[in-house]
Amino acid sequence: MSRARNRLAAAVAVGASAALVLTMGSSAVAKPKESLPQDLAKAVSADKINRHLVAFQRFADQTGGNRAASTEGYNRSAEYIARKLDEEGFTVTRQEFPFIYDETITESLTSGGNDYDVIRMSYSPSAPEGGVTAPLAEVPVDDTPGCEASDYDGVDVDGKIALIKRGACTFFDKQKFAGQAGAVGAIVYNNGPGPVNGTLGAPGQIPTAGLTQEQGEELVSMAGQDATFDIQGVTEDRTTYNVIAETKTGRKDNVVMAGAHLDSVAAGPGINDNGSGSAALLQTALALGGKPKVENAVRFSWWSAEELGLVGSEYYVEQLSFEQQLDISMYLNFDMIASPNAGYFVYDGDDSDGIGAGPGPYGSAAIEEQFASYIEDNGTPTEGTDFTGRSDYGPFIEVGIPSGGLFTGAEVIMTEAQAGKWDGEAGVAYDKCYHQACDTLGNVNYEALDVNADAMAATIGTYALSTEDVNNVEPGAKKSKQQVAAQRSGERVHISHAHTNQHGHDTDHDACNRDSR
């Protein structure tokens, strides 16, 4: 990745809810202060952010152990944020939307007297009470394992538990074709190191769970033996809401948008995933204030139901007209920025790493350079991470909005080379408590939190002053929507809101909401 050192002194823009009609033009304010990026970075300390993390931990502790979308733990977290932003003079909106809630109650598989560490996939139907006992059956491995009905030609899975290797298609499709062939359950085992922590994305046909490659291959060697597979869950229609806060100053036709998902998985309090991004974003907003001296308005967003498939951010973007999309100069995403065995990843806006989904929309390369330059100039090396679509930048990229952000890694294993450069632990996941009950205050890397929060604040401050390197809009100049529309017309990137089938390899880092592939 290129690492430009000459940066524009720009800062952040924040806006209102997607449901609102955004006012065109700019708000008259005093001349912006050029030191805003540095001032924000100094004002956003790990100690101040930790106070918010303590609040999130207590909300979870007091309400059943998590902050999942629509739960009391989530609602208390959202109101805590909304109240503080309202007190600082922001325009605050709560954007409600419907979603399908999903929670795992039981997940187990036993065979030959051994227990296997299956992970129920979100939206999987439950097994019959007490589980299902049936023979194990291997689905042949080819370029598209279990992805086509023809994969089951001559393969007897009727009344059996299908063992399917990960790759080439969604988990939903794998269980669908297995179910159509008569399977009573599906186990998708990994095609690389680490567990499969997945989602079907919508209610499925047969009980489905993920498993590590090692344990999956062990079960394949036992094909024909009986196994007892028991997964139970709750799936129901609910309502939740995003929190959107926008500065009252700055031009409304060139908004800088920054977001983080606020919800946790049901398994735990989600203090790194994604209390870390949410708390740092809140402290940045409080440091900026609701009426800052900026060129561009700044819109902060805290998304709900990200862990169930980016539902909140998708809903937000779907409500935007094309004109409202053009009013957003960029989207900056902060998801898991304090992993205990932290990597320092910047979204690969120019696809210089040549991995996965390709480059982001026009302007994403400049955002990458801004983040990477700031972090590296302050002594920490960075690596790129692919725009896989597993976090809330996905819906913005799909409509051509330039995007970027920071990430410190999830369940993928740190390499020897990375451990050397980041003083980490090779052979261990970036976050060994990813999507687990142990994602508590004790799971936070405060050094990583400080590094990334500084970069977050400085970058938001930079773009609040000028977005010229992203979309060619000069400070004080009238924005040409025709020019921006022309840029974006050929820059839409179509990616699924899920991890690619490369997940689990050392070259693949992006992870927050559950995989669907």
Catalytic residues: 306
Contact (CB, 8 A) for 167 and 501: yes
Please name which of 487, 299, 376 lies closest in space to residue 4, comparing C-alpha atoms.
376
- φ and ψ at 198, to 5 degrees? -120, 175
Whether 194 contacts 429, CB under 8 Å: yes
What do you get for the CA distance between the two ends of the chain, in Å? 27
CA distance 190 to 501: 9
Tokens, residue 451: 């590094």
Place of tokens 């022309």: 486
Compute how many other C-beta atoms are within 10 angstroms of the C-beta atom of residue 236: 9
150 CB-near residues (< 8 Å, 6+ apart)? none
- Provide the token pair at 84: 């503080």
409 in Cβ contact with 384 (< 8 Å): no
Tokens for 406?
Answer: 């920071």
CA–CA distance, 73 with 65 (Å, rounded to integer): 8
- Helix (H/G/I), strand (E/B), else coil: 91: strand
The 8 Å CB, 24+ separation contacts for 375-382 are: 375/344, 375/346, 375/451, 375/452, 375/455, 376/3, 377/5, 378/451, 378/454, 378/455, 380/344, 380/422, 380/451, 381/344, 381/421, 381/422, 382/1, 382/344, 382/345, 382/346
**35 Cβ contact list (under 8 Å, min separation 6):** none
Is residue 449 a contact partner of residue 457, using CB atoms and an 8 Å limit?
Answer: no
The position carrying tokens 């809401």 is: 241
**Helix, strand, coil abundance in the chain, percent, nearest 5:** 30, 20, 45
Of 472, 497, 488, whose CA–CA distance to 333 is shortest? 497
Reading the block at residue 164, the tokens are 């399917």
> Phi, psi at residue 429, to the nearest 5°?
-60, 150
